[in-house]
Amino acid sequence: MGRQRPDTEAITESIDSGTAELVPDLGGRNSWTLRVNGTPQSHVDLDDPTYLEFEYVRRLGHLIDLVAPSRVLHLGGGALTLARYVSATVPRSSQQVAEIDAGLIAFVRRELPPPKGVRITTGDARAVLVKARPASFDLIVTDCFAGARTPAHLTSVEFVRQASAALAEDGVYAANIGDGNGLQFARAQCATVRSVFEHVCVLAEPGVFRGRRFGNFVIFASHTGLPMQQLMRATAGDPFPGRVEHGTGLTKFIGGAPVTTDETATLSPAPPSGLWGT
């Protein structure tokens, strides 16, 4: 049976990858933060699944509001924040979630049961993606972390091509990554995605774009176009304002960064000690 009312004590569980902890908010809301090995992974408001706490998740929420995807593949599960959001805002949607940690999913299912219509598959994100039928999704979201780092095999051009094949003609690919000083990883990821998709943009807080601090970059891509003006307005007007780079601005941001391949792929950079629970 899941959480029916706000609690005041954290719930801890041993999972495949270590230790998961659900920490209740102290403001009286029926909402929880999921931490895995100390790193915040998800925030869920059970009474209002449209409430998004983390800034990078809010960027993804803006995209969902604009494209209203009816078929969604989430690569990376966590506490299923975005799946809950899609269920609430696109009620007749069909969703699949791929999560490699079976223990984590069992914990989340028990304590924070997912909405109906969300199918959860236990397995590696890329292995699940390879099995997807061509053109079977309107939106694919890659939000996978091993600890606080994106696994290398989910950063290559071969992986992005597999995502492209699983998307409908007008589908959208979205990825969340972390980077900081120098931004070599973020630049290379943008170059990699743009080598597959014609229309690409990247969103982040201004200080993160300038490399002043470590943070999240969210990349959106499509073969047929993105709602750029609406995305820019939503991002600028968010309680956590951000910047959107596309077109010539994206070209300048990428610079001479190379396309990442399976042979050259590496883990995303580790955040500084003390950030993201590290």
Task: Report the relative pairing of strands 71-75 and 94-99 from DSSP bridges.
Answer: parallel
Rounded-to-integer distance, Cα 241 and Cα 221, Å: 21
Does the pLDDT of residue 27 top 80, yes or no?
no
Asked whether the CA dihedral 33, 36, 39, 42 is positive or negative, the reply is negative
pLDDT digits (tens, 9 = 90+) for 210-268: 999 999 999 999 999 999 999 999 999 999 999 999 999 999 999 999 999 999 999 99
Three-state SS for 126? Answer: helix
CATH architecture of 49-269: 3-Layer(aba) Sandwich (3.40)
Q: If 0-12 CB within 10 Å is exposed, 13-18 middle and 19+ buried, where does residue 247 land?
A: exposed
pTM: 0.95
Mind listing the pLDDT tens digit for each residue in 103-152? 999 999 999 999 998 999 999 999 999 999 999 999 999 999 987 899 99
Give me the pLDDT at residue 26, please.
Answer: 82
pLDDT of residue 274: 65
Q: Is the pLDDT of residue 5 over 80?
A: no
- Mean pLDDT value across the chain: 94
184-196: b (≥16 Cβ within 10 Å) or e = ebbbbbbbbbbeb
pLDDT by residue (tens digit) across 45-91?
999 999 999 999 999 999 999 999 999 999 999 999 999 999 999 99
Residues ≥6 apart with Cβ < 8 Å to 216: 55, 56, 176, 177, 178, 204, 208
> What angle separates helix 184-194 from helix 157-166, to the nearest 10 degrees?
40
**Percent of the chain having pLDDT more than 70?**
95
pLDDT of residue 275: 66
What does the angle CA 26 – CA 87 – CA 64 come to, to the nearest 5 degrees? Answer: 95
